Structures are given as structure tokens and as C-alpha cells.
Amino acid sequence: YQRRVRGARSSNGIQGYLVIVQSSVKGAAYLDQRIEAFLLEYQTKLANMSEKEFAEHVKSVIIKKSEKDKRLAQATERFWNEIFTNFYLFNRRDIEIGLLSKITKKEVEDYYALYISPTSAIRRKVSVQLFSSAFAEEMSSPCSLPEGAPPSTKISRIEQISEFKRSLPIFPHIYN
């Protein structure tokens, strides 16, 4: 199977973390289980990381964020995203670089434990699973909780996306 960790991202002002896994051999339940195992493994790796190594990772992120746009389209997309989300932080990269230069390993560990770790009681997760006909049987079976999931975990299968969106309290999206 093929795995890509896309990392932190913001969509319409909402922070998230994206992991994409594709397989023509394994089903969605197995892949979801492997993502959860990866997230637990990374939490251990983060905890065992030295302060020096952490500082090197932070420095590399700062360097990447400091890079000038290579194409006008990149800057245009950044600025339009600020307008679209009504945040208007046209200096967002500078703000993020300033915050990154002050971040501590403990803050990242605490954040990870609270919002990303599969063992967190308050973590929220959206898992979008597309099935090939080879896994049609798995698609029709009931969803099960991943191993080690907190008891408060709930699973909802959404089959009619437009009906689900209409049921949300913030649909349609309206800005103040």
C-alpha cells in the first residue's frame, strides 16, 4: 500500500491533520488500524526525541516557511485564502515563524497527546474511506472501533453526504 502523511493543514480556518493511504491489497479497516498504530508510534518517537533533534526539526520548518514563493500563483493562492476565510492575516507566515521560534518540545507533546493521539478522550477524527469493488463486502459490514480507542468514541457512517451536511448546525456556512 502507499502512504503519504501530509501533516498539519488548515481548511477554511479549521486546523486538521491529513494522512492519505491507498491500497489495492488491504481493506479500509486494516489501513485505518495502521494509521492509528503510526500515530501511537510517532507519539513515542516524539517523547524520545532529544531537545537538540526537536530544535533541528523546528529550524527546518522555519526555513521552509521562510522560502520565497517560487511562482506568483503561490502568493496569489495564499492571499486569496486569507480573503476567503475572512482572516486577512497577509503576514501569516511571519506570525507563524515567530511562534515557531518560541515553541517548546513539551508544548508539542502536550498538543499531540490531547488532539492527535488515538488514546485522547477529546480527539476528533474524520475518516473518509473509498472502496473498490474488491472490498465491497467490507463496505457493507458495520464499522468497528480501532483497538485502544477511548470508550467515548462514536462511529457514524455517512452515506448521503448532502443530507449529512444539511443536518449540521452550521450549514450553510455563514460569515459574520
- Short-list 153, 133, 172, 154, CA closest to 24: 133
- Residue 105, SS3 per DSSP: helix
The identity of residue 28, as a single letter, is A
pTM: 0.73
Q: What is the pLDDT of residues 7-37, one digit of tens each?
A: 666 666 667 788 888 888 887 888 888 889 9
Specify the amino acid at residue 42.
Answer: Y
pLDDT tens per residue across span 47-89: 999 999 999 999 999 999 999 999 999 999 999 988 887 889 9
Query: Is pLDDT above 80 for 144?
Result: no
* One-letter amino acid of 83: I
What is the percent of the chain with per-residue pLDDT over 90, rounded to a whole number? 41
* 9-18 as b/e: b if 16+ CB within 10 A: eeeeeeeeee
pLDDT reading at 6 higher than 60: no
Q: Determine the residue type at 168.
A: L
